[in-house]
Structure 1
Amino acid sequence: MKTAEEAIAWIHSLLPFGIKPGLARMEAMLAALDHPEEKLQAIHVAGTNGKGSTVSFLRHMLQADGWSVGTFTSPYVEQFAERISMNGVPIGDADLLAAAQKIRPLVEEIAKTPLGSPTEFEVLTAMMLWHFGEVVRPDICLVEVGLGGRMDSTNVISPLVSVITTIGYDHMHILGDTLSEIAYEKAGIIKPGTPVVVGNVPEEALAVIGEVAVDKQASLTLFGADFGVETDVVQPEPGVEAFEWKWQRKPAATYKLAMIGPHQRENAAVALATLSVLEKQTACMIREETRREGLKQASWPGRFEYMQQKPDIILDGAHNKEGYEALAAVLEARYPGKKMIMLLAATREKDICDLLAPFHELDIDFMFTTFDFPRAQSAEVLYERAEVASKRCISDWRAALTEVREQMAEEDVLVVAGSLYFVSDVRRGFVG
């Protein structure tokens, strides 16, 4: 490999090895690298939804306070390199190539053993840990779990704070069929004696998280008990919401967000609580003005993101039941009584009837499509299975998008949703 493009091609070549839960391959690579993960100060973020938004809120607040912040997120929306970023800037070509060159010989050696080849995500995780641990050394790393937690390749770090944002039904073919089973996998990131911040999760899931925390002697900071948000919000300016955050017994504080919706207010509350716990862990005070500045500046591509207005075209990476419920709530609040169009693609493991249930009270014309992805469901199958009043299908999403845009009037609303990979493809058509 002599270029970043060749490095990315090699990483993508590992995709056929799929998802292989377990940490043995990660541990072998990290041992050969002399354990770069032990040199990191990190916050570990798991959850069914809200991980990326919570990481964005945390990054913007910490950066505003003068911290250097490394982030590891997935999937990418704009470019592959953004998965490993420093202060919001994706890893450069030279550093990406260097990390791949460092890891590849280890991958090839492990592939010859009974462990088998490391997966694409395991390789990316190892590259990230080496880059942050040996090359750039940020003040703190925000590490987003890829899938689950207990057996996720990121679960080799010893963070300052662990975060579980939400628990819902997703990846059930891997994580389990019940909220208790899913929560057990997410709670696998809890480390002995390490404090845990938990978002708005169902009681069934919270019970499991509590059991794991007691077993690990890890203190819990809970949404609803230790912190929370007021449900009433105001719009002090276009595209911004203000909400009140409650922390323990202190007076409520008002913050502004450019990321819209009740779910984002909860994600922001989790991020604020995490900073409060981080302060205790590090004895570093994070200024109030930088919290306010960071929250208002925070954004996350593909999360109720406006591509244009009049007519409004919105991209949202909702891809599971809870994500669609959040999207429906925002649409109902911002476009009450409005007729809308939704261009939608999904992966094969999703139950489209279950996903679209939150929209039954809204007036939406559904247009089903598909995209270039190994697990993408066909437009025809989505169309046949969807139990909605108004629907059609066009397999070529570019043709579908062009047709809809040509027919839209100024007052119309188009929502593009489904897989984050699909939203990423569409987004590139807008931003180049």
Structure 2
Amino acid sequence: MTYEESLTYIHSLLRFGMKPGLARVEALLKRMGNPQKELRFVHVAGTNGKGSVCAMLSEILQCAGYKTGLTISPYITDFCERMQVNSTPISHEELARQVERLKPLIEEISREGEPVTEFEAVTALAFRWFSEQGCDVVVLETGLGGRFDATNVIETPLCSVITSIGLDHTDILGDTYRQIAFEKCGIIKPDGVTVSYPVQEEEALAEIMRTAAMRRNTLRMGNVGALEGMNMTVEGSDVIYGRLPLHIPLAGAHQHFNAVTAVEAAWALRSAGLAIEDVHIQAGIARTKWPARLEIISRNPFVLLDGAHNPDGMRALVRTLKETLPGRKIFAVTGMLRDKAYKEAAAVLAPILEKAVCVAVDNPRALSGEALAGELERHGVQALAAKDLEEAISLAIKDVGEDGVLLVCGSLYLAGPARKQLLALKEKN
């Protein structure tokens, strides 16, 4: 099986199961010898900030000398980013080999009952690869929700982490903070330790506290009052948390809170017996890189790429741009999914924009460029639709000039293809 054939096979599987639950992935893992039982995990769920917190924790663990597995969802530019060991994605050849081994088991289970989904197959594959690689710890990011997420087959992890809870995937997870928090808190296992993002909506926090107490978990939350010296630029921030100086190379005040979450999780892991010193925490956070999180692609013209794709994420993006690039004219290339809260996201984004070029992202759930342009125009933004991403970037970049900023945002499904095109354009120039 070639890499291309392996991807075609993976993408041919159902996106979601007919019935929610873990029975399919449990059956698949049982036939694989339950590789997840040979691993130790940090399990991370939440609406926003999961990727950043996972990246920080992965780097911290590596700095402490642990061979570290990492899962992310979705990927930005290459499918193999979804599973990494010590920040190196699985190779195309190894992914193809693993899919070829897994395919007969998937088809066997599918013949016997309900078909295995894409995410279940990828999760099972990752567990076996991490086990074969001899990972000491795996930082495991959920895909959607938590309670019925395929990653939730694991037993009590070293630490469960709940990042910022927001209103996203409301058609599946519920339309209140409490309902969504209930689904995310499904990862909290009995007699464990849970770390929460330090600034949660009141009803989300109440659900986190309730679940942690019910499952006899120690609950750790960062103290935002202990954050000092927040020197913030679009390059990142220098802060002190308690007495611990931190350089955070990811921009935005929300990244201060993500870093606090990572620090508290690292301290929880230390209490669990891992040899993590404060110097490892400082070094790990300082070297964290995370594509498409206010990533500076170019400085002339100034180009920023961000994967914000829901109203809470968009609010964090807008707040950061106002604080770090005051007075700069912002021109956007943007595309969104029609099943997201795109009207609210557009309303949040519109006030900072000089002009926008809208495009449909490469996804069956894409909102048309014309519909998004119309939504932004309702909020007073000069907006037009482009036929494709290449045209959108070409049209927008003409207006940026020396003092402007080109912002590409709206969806992670836009961020990946845009990153490739922007880097190629930078190389050519």
- TM-score higher than 0.5 here? yes
* Amino acid in the other structure paired with 1:190: I
Q: CA offset at residue 384 of structure 1? A: 2.5
175-184 or 99-108, which deviates more: 99-108
Distance (Å, rounded) in 2 between the aligned partners of 1:45 and 1:183? 13
Residue 403 of structure 1: aligned partner: 395
Residue 239 of structure 2: aligned partner: 243
Report matched runs for 1:221-260 at 5 Å: 221-224=220-223, 230=227, 232-234=229-231, 239-246=235-242, 252-260=243-251
42-51 or 96-105, which deviates more: 96-105
Distance (Å, rounded) in 2 between the aligned partners of 1:16 and 1:327? 29
Q: CA offset at residue 20 of structure 1? A: 5.5
1:271 aligns with 2:262: yes
Residue 427 of structure 2: aligned partner: none
Report matched runs for 1:101-116 at 5 Å: 101-114=100-113, 116=114
What TM-score, normalized to structure 2? Answer: 0.94
Describe the shift of the 1:368–1:430 C-alpha distance in structure 2 as closer, same or farther (beyond 3 A): closer
The percentage of aligned residue pairs carrying the same residue is 36
Q: CA offset at residue 407 of structure 1? A: 3.5
* Amino acid in the other structure paired with 2:181: A
Describe the shift of the 1:216–1:98 C-alpha distance in structure 2 as closer, same or farther (beyond 3 A): same
Contact 1:37–1:130 (CA under 8 A) maintained in structure 2: yes
* Amino acid in the other structure paired with 2:263: L
Aligned partner of 1:166 among 157, 164, 167: 164
| 3-state SS in 2 of match to 1:221 | strand
* Amino acid in the other structure paired with 1:394: A
Distance (Å, rounded) in 2 between the aligned partners of 1:309 and 1:260? 16
Distance (Å, rounded) in 2 between the aligned partners of 1:143 and 1:10? 23
Residue 249 of structure 1: aligned partner: none
| 3-state SS in 2 of match to 1:177 | coil
Q: CA offset at residue 362 of structure 1? A: 2.5
- RMSD between superposed Cα atoms in Å: 1.8
Distance (Å, rounded) in 1 between the aligned partners of 2:385 and 2:153? 44
* Amino acid in the other structure paired with 1:313: V
Residue 296 of structure 1: aligned partner: 286
Q: CA offset at residue 105 of structure 1? A: 1.1
Q: Deviations over 1:366-399 (max 9, x none)?
A: 2221122111111112122333212222231210
Report matched runs for 1:277-288 at 5 Å: 277-281=268-272, 283-288=273-278
Give ranges in structure 1 of 5+ residues lacking alignment: 247-251
Distance (Å, rounded) in 2 between the aligned partners of 1:198 and 1:238? 26
Q: CA offset at residue 240 of structure 1? A: 3.8
1:186 aligns with 2:184: yes
Contact 1:228–1:266 (CA under 8 A) maintained in structure 2: no
Q: CA offset at residue 262 of structure 1? A: 0.5
Q: CA offset at residue 47 of structure 1? A: 0.5
| 3-state SS in 2 of match to 1:71 | strand
Describe the shift of the 1:231–1:172 C-alpha distance in structure 2 as closer, same or farther (beyond 3 A): farther
Give ranges in structure 2 of 5+ residues lacking alignment: 425-429
Residue 205 of structure 1: aligned partner: 204
1:147 aligns with 2:139: no
The aligned length equals 420
Residue 73 of structure 1: aligned partner: 72
Distance (Å, rounded) in 1 between the aligned partners of 2:248 and 2:82? 24
Distance (Å, rounded) in 1 between the aligned partners of 2:15 and 2:182? 27
Residue 418 of structure 2: aligned partner: 426
1:131 aligns with 2:123: no
19-28 or 206-215, which deviates more: 19-28
Describe the shift of the 1:328–1:229 C-alpha distance in structure 2 as closer, same or farther (beyond 3 A): farther
| 3-state SS in 2 of match to 1:389 | coil
Distance (Å, rounded) in 1 between the aligned partners of 2:45 and 2:408? 25
What TM-score, normalized to structure 1? Answer: 0.93
Distance (Å, rounded) in 2 between the aligned partners of 1:123 and 1:284? 30
Contact 1:337–1:363 (CA under 8 A) maintained in structure 2: no
Distance (Å, rounded) in 2 between the aligned partners of 1:275 and 1:165? 14
Contact 2:330–2:406 (CA under 8 A) maintained in structure 1: yes
| 3-state SS in 2 of match to 1:233 | strand
Distance (Å, rounded) in 1 between the aligned partners of 2:367 and 2:228? 37
208-217 or 173-182, which deviates more: 208-217
Q: Deviations over 1:186-223 (max 9, x none)?
A: 00000000100000211101111111111111111023
